[in-house]
Amino acid sequence: MPSPAFRKSFRVTWVDTDAAQVVHYSNYFRFFERTEEEFYRQLGFSFTDTAKRGLWFPRVEAFCQYKKPARFNDLLEVELTIEEMREKSMKLGFKVFNKETTALLATGYVVIVAADKQTGRATKIPEDIVEKFKPFIK
């Protein structure tokens, strides 16, 4: 049985586009992040909650492959899956679809490390967070 993916839809807004009349390539990373934030919200926590517990989740790697352009007003659907879950890091995978045409526009990932806010060192992802993530691990 495939693990469930988390999905989030949103419209391309005018400022997302550039003079080629398509979404600027850097903005896909912002779409990834917005989806990640909604995923955490659904799981019942946020960056600010974990920051209060002394944890940051900095990105250490980010990748995107662009297949088809997205344009102003397009309704996008971003699918998030947990590609890998390690003791101190995780890899989140993303697929960006045009929700109306169902075309796959881009795929990518980010690697995130749990870091102690004081020391900056990598630290274990707390057990309660790992538990919440488990159903979504690929």
**Binding residues vs a second copy (CB under 8 A):** 11, 13-15, 17-22, 24-27, 29-30, 33-34, 37-38, 41, 46-48, 56, 58-66, 69, 71-73, 110
> Do 3 and 136 meet the contact criterion of CB atoms below 8 Å apart?
yes
Other residues' Cβ atoms within 10 Å of the Cβ of residue 105: 22
Other residues' Cβ atoms within 10 Å of the Cβ of residue 5: 16
Looking at the Cβ atoms of 117 and 138, the one nearer to a second copy is: 117
> Do 57 and 50 meet the contact criterion of CB atoms below 8 Å apart?
yes
Looking at the Cβ atoms of 3 and 26, the one nearer to a second copy is: 26
Looking at the Cβ atoms of 121 and 134, the one nearer to a second copy is: 121
Structure tokens at 116: 């102690």
Residue 5 Cβ vs a second copy, minimum distance, rounded to whole Å: 20
